[in-house]
């Protein structure tokens, strides 16, 4: 059975997943709203406290990862630091990755591609990529990424030659991964900012290569 692609293309570059209106939320989500209202009523939190946290969460997006990748493409010394000490190198770019226990950057090559999955739930490097897409959390992806990674990549439009090895990495609560994709050919004259526009969330999970330059 193939993956449901309806959510694969939704906000592919931004990673956005639109929340349902409050009246459509389930039992546990409604309890969260009720607890929030109670905490505000009791003076434990203020609406401004909550809004600041929401703003912080929303600021975490695939754009953070794209900046890291683009800088690594143009600066070999930065790429080495990113691979050797990802969290410290994130801090250089103003990205706070301290909430991640262990953080590993996986560099793609012409002979090896890396693909990230979380088989138990949906562990994901949120400070770097924002919220995980729905398909990443689905049982379909979590099982098929391990058993048929090439088939999954094919459904995302990535067809690899037989001599390219695909390595699957299982993310956990303690270990998070970021794929450093190959720089697309024909981008030699592009600026770092322009290169960042080619880096998609999906390429940093590993299901596809970055976009080709127009």
Alpha-carbon span 49 to 45, nearest angstrom:
6
Domain boundaries, the chain: 26-58, 62-205
Pick one of 3.90.330.10, 3.30.70.100, 3.30.70.790, 3.40.50.720 as the CATH number of 62-205: 3.90.330.10
Looking at 61, 118, 171, 203, which residue is catalytic?
118
Compute the residue count for the chain: 214
Assign 7 a pLDDT band (cuts: 50, 70, 90).
very low
Residue range 103-125: mean pLDDT, rounded: 96
Residue with the larger pLDDT of the pair 114 and 32? 114
Per-residue pLDDT at 43: 85
Average pLDDT, the chain: 85
Looking at 122, 143, 171, 191, which residue is catalytic?
122
How confident is the model over 49-91, as pLDDT tens digits? Answer: 555 554 444 444 599 999 999 999 999 999 999 999 999 999 9
Q: What is the pTM of this model?
A: 0.75
Question: β-pairing, 175-180 with 102-107?
Answer: parallel
Residue 127 has pLDDT above 50, yes or no: yes
List the beta bridge partners of residue 106. Answer: 179
Map residue 54 onto helix, strand or coil. Answer: helix
- Residue 115 in contact with residue 186, Cβ under 8 Å? no
Residue 30 has pLDDT above 50, yes or no: yes
Residue with the larger pLDDT of the pair 119 and 15? 119
Which contacts (CB < 8 Å, 24+ apart) does range 95-102 have?
95/64, 95/67, 95/68, 95/127, 95/128, 96/127, 97/125, 97/127, 97/128, 99/126, 99/127, 100/125, 100/127, 100/176, 101/173, 101/174, 101/175, 101/176, 102/174, 102/175, 102/176
How confident is the model over 86-105, as pLDDT tens digits? Answer: 999 999 999 999 999 999 99
How confident is the model over 143-187, as pLDDT tens digits? Answer: 999 999 999 999 999 999 999 999 999 999 999 999 999 999 999
- Residue 122 annotated to the active site: yes
- Residue 119 in contact with residue 143, Cβ under 8 Å? yes
The string over 4-35, giving b where at least 16 C-beta atoms fall within 10 Å of a residue's C-beta and e elsewhere, is eeebbeeebbebeeeeeeeeeeeeeeeeeeee
Classify residue 119 as exposed, middle or buried by CB count within 10 Å of its CB (0-12, 13-18, 19+): middle
- Residue 72 in contact with residue 82, Cβ under 8 Å? yes
Per-residue pLDDT at 172: 94
> Tell me, what DSSP letter sits at residue 169?
E
Looking at 6, 61, 90, 123, which residue is catalytic?
123
Per-residue pLDDT at 214: 87
Alpha-carbon span 25 to 51, nearest angstrom:
20
Looking at 99, 121, 143, 191, which residue is catalytic?
121
């Amino acid at each position: 059975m193939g993956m449901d692609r309806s959510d694969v293309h939704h906000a592919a570059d931004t990673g956005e997943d639109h929340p349902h209106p409050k009246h459509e939320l389930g039992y546990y989500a409604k309890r969260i709203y009720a607890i929030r209202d109670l905490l505000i009523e009791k003076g434990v939190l203020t609406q401004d406290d909550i809004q600041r946290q929401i703003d912080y969460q929303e600021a975490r997006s695939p754009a953070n990862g794209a900046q890291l990748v683009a800088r690594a493409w143009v600066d070999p010394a930065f790429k080495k630091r990113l691979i050797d000490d990802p969290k410290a190198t994130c801090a250089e770019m103003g990205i706070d990755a301290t909430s991640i226990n262990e953080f590993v950057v996986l560099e793609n090559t012409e002979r090896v591609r890396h693909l990230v999955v979380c088989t138990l739930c949906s562990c994901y490097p949120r400070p770097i990529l924002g919220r995980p897409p729905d398909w990443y959390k689905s049982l379909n992806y979590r099982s098929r990424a391990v058993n048929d990674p090439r088939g999954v990549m094919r459904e995302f439009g990535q067809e690899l030659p037989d001599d390219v090895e695909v390595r699957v990495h299982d993310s956990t609560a303690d270990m998070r991964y970021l794929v450093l994709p190959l720089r697309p050919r024909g981008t030699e004259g592009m600026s770092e900012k322009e290169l960042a526009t080619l880096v998609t969330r999906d390429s940093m999970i590993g299901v596809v290569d970055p976009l080709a330059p127009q």
